[in-house]
Chains A and B, each alone.
Chain A
């Protein structure tokens, strides 16, 4: 089944404890992206990747890191999480960054930082 998977789905952690949220897609998509979703603010892009080893900042990159060492995986790293990073996170992928290519979203990761 073609899909985007994220792990973990739910995480409660404490300030300053490094964490990684994994994202994997099995559709051979070139483009991958991370979003956070907060009430009243909608989906905001954190980082995106046009292809392997090509990443760029979105609208709200502060406090996050990403890597794209292989096409299928695009992990999101929080080196020192803070309470303002409590949010619902979505990973998404599409065949390419342009054209009519829709983005396929993962199921989401609900992160709480205490």
Chain B
């Protein structure tokens, strides 16, 4: 099985930088995703990591350390519209084939003026 931990809530200031951490325990790691979800809406894809290191995409970056079972999502130049829940999701290779994606409970980010 999997265990995914991320903080429940975070607050940051507009224009600042915020780092959202995610730790996981898994037996057949096959990739880690970050999704953004605004209240009442569907999750939307932000980033994917399968190898160690940093993936940068505009104001968003995601880092992975497989040996530590650790990832973070870095949001720069925060904007009010970044207020949302950020979901960490880990994919496992299943015994017998196939993949399974398990989501963390999400980190609710509030961006303040």
Contact = CB atoms under 8 A, between A and B. Distances in A.
Nearest to A56: B98
Nearest to A91: B42
Interface string B30-43: 11010000001111
Contacts of B3: none
A66 B43 CA distance: 22
Interface residues of A, number: 25
Interface stretch (A13-21, A42-50, A76-84): A42-50
A98 B101 contact: no
Interface string B19-60: 000000000001101000000111111001010000000000
Interface in A74-114: 90, 97-100, 102-108
Given A42-B103, A45-B101, A58-B100, A102 B48 contact: yes
Given A100-B48, A102-B48, A42 B31 contact: no
Contacts of A33: 101
Given A100-B48, A100-B50, A102-B33, A43 B43 contact: yes
Nearest to A58: B100
A41 interface: yes
A59 interface: yes
Contact of A103 (B30, B93, B101, B102): B101
B98 A50 contact: yes
Given A90-B42, A100-B50, A43 B87 contact: yes
The list of the 4 closest CB pairs from A to B, nearest first, reads A42-B105, A105-B42, A102-B45, A43-B103
7 contacts: A33-B101, A40-B105, A43-B43, A97-B99, A98-B91, A105-B43, A106-B42
